[in-house]
Structure 1
């Protein structure tokens, strides 16, 4: 019986980047994205936006489409940043854009830089949730919003992997489960108010005909999405 190699995030995304699109490309991501976008302000004119763990630029593009004119993306993977650069090229004349290599747990940005900080499907790659949330708190201005998502801990308990294929071979990225109690304790300690929590479910209409998937996925939440606000 073959097993799926589990790779550290930097190595995983170096392999995955060439085929990683800048949109939600599977039913779980589509469910997560609908929840994230429902909690994101609909108009972002004059709002400074940071996408921490920006990957190929998916949420940077959403921010730009909602009118943001100053957007920064930080990601651990040089290869994913290269993909983001290509995806964002058409927006260069319409907004101030920057892409910087760095880790969510040590963001290369000054204190209180962002009005809105986004962090989509990233913090499960970080074993120390509090330290990463502390950085998101630090770079967000007092009163600003931190919008986070991650794969739901139920999926982790069911043995689901963050897996992908390259040249016909399956790999998985390292991922840990952060329970809601972990989020609650870290936010309380840091001064991040939990304003909303969503637990989106799969939409059966998103599942391609003939797809192989765990049928339990239709009956449990697949993502945990939180809107946080920095108090001071």
Structure 2
């Protein structure tokens, strides 16, 4: 589906139904809770090297020059290193986040349709797709910073299109990062209140995992992502 077809589908789509998406998300969670847990664990594992990339030089500098801690300022050499390493850290973390979130939504689709295809958590790292994941990750970062700059209020608006980007990326690889962003805003603006409500309510439900000795949150955290799959599915098919 190209960008023109995508925008047409959004225009012709029916209003999203909160109750239907909520109930189907709960049912699908029963099938993908393990995949959600694995996605979360892979996220932690894959971003860990980027933390070492940033904090490694700081630790090394602190060991070689203990007085630096007392001065509460970095040496010129460390400052120059951070100028290079921090952007790499941010780009790496955002790429991993977008790629794995999109892969999880793709897995949700496979389970929902009873597909026999294997779960592929690294799908959006393969065949050069990591470049698109990087581009989309940087756009998400930019929108997040813009939302925060608007006295924090803007983030409440941007959270809807930002959440939708992974779905358009997961299910429509023909779209560029810019087109994905435009489509996400179009769908988000049309159903903003419903989508925002689903994100907040399902996020709160996912937090109930803390009841299980706090470890349970690792198994329920990805529940908050599942409605995005049904939002995309309903918007693209209900005309």
- Which TM-score bucket, shorter chain as reference? under 0.3
- Structure showing greater radius of gyration is 2
Higher relative contact order (CA 8 A, sep 6+): 2
- Which structure is higher in strand share? 1
